[in-house]
Structure 1
Amino acid sequence: MPDPINLDDKLDRFSETWTPKIIAALNGQHVKLAHLEGEFVWHAHAEEDELFFVARGRLRIEMRDGSVELGPGDLFVVPRGVEHRPVALPTASVMLFEPASTAHTGDVVSERTVTDLDWI
């Protein structure tokens, strides 16, 4: 039988920012954790929705037609194809739900792009 996953324990196991770590998989989806600091890159995921759940800190998700601000316990789904930029205020730790095939920076390749995600 699998063990339960404690988010605080998993978040405390790493400190890198903008480098998601996979903590679980289900039905072709990955559940990931990431520490965020400052601004990310503008990007979109043409074929996938992306769910952000804030575990710690504050996060603003900017979209071309507005933005949403999230605190601990809040979640938001960015619909597929919507260009967005996550901005930590000033830091945040988030859980992401997205298809396992989702590219980290969507349709953009930058110095923050991570192609091989670690499991923790």
Structure 2
Amino acid sequence: MNLAAVAAQLSDGWKGRVLADFGCVRMKLFKADAVGLAEEMHSDWDEAILMLEGELVLELDQVPMHLKAGDFHLIPRGVRHRILPGCRGSFILLDPEPLA
């Protein structure tokens, strides 16, 4: 599977696609939207972001972190985070969010 090609087919507006479930971890592909994402916090699990292409600004407890293609970052549980407006590109999100 070519992830860049799959991401290019995703609509705007933070519509993601679940690629796989590994035990209790879900692997999702997202195409970033310039609007950004509202702040959230997970008290029970960590998340990880792997940038495939483009760039975004991830804010962790109000501290901005610039991520670009190839960058990986672990978001620890209990840390408030959001994606600031103005981003573009695609990324993989790994999280053990309770599977429905």
Equivalent residue for 1:27? Answer: 23
The SS at the match of 2:32 is strand
TM-score w.r.t. the length of structure 1 is: 0.73
Change (3 A) 1:88 1:35: farther
Q: CA deviation at 1:92?
A: 2.2
Give the aligned length. Answer: 99
Cα RMSD, aligned residues only: 1.9
TM-score by length of 2: 0.85
Aligned residue number for residue 112 of structure 1: none
Q: Which residue, 18, 21, 33 being the options, matches 1:37?
A: 33
The CA deviation at 1:17 is 2.5
Letter in 1 for 2:38: V
Question: Equivalent pairs: percent with the same residue?
Answer: 25
Displacement of 1:45: 0.9
Deviating beyond 6 angstroms after TM superposition, the runs of 4 or more aligned structure 1 residues are none
Q: Secondary structure at the match of 1:81?
A: coil
Show the 5 A alignment for 1:13-24. 13-24=9-20
In the aligned structure 2, how far is the partner of 1:72 from the partner of 1:89?
16
The structure having more radius of gyration, on CA atoms, is: 1
State how far apart, in whole Å, the 2-side matches of 1:21 and 1:75 are.
19
Higher strand share: 2
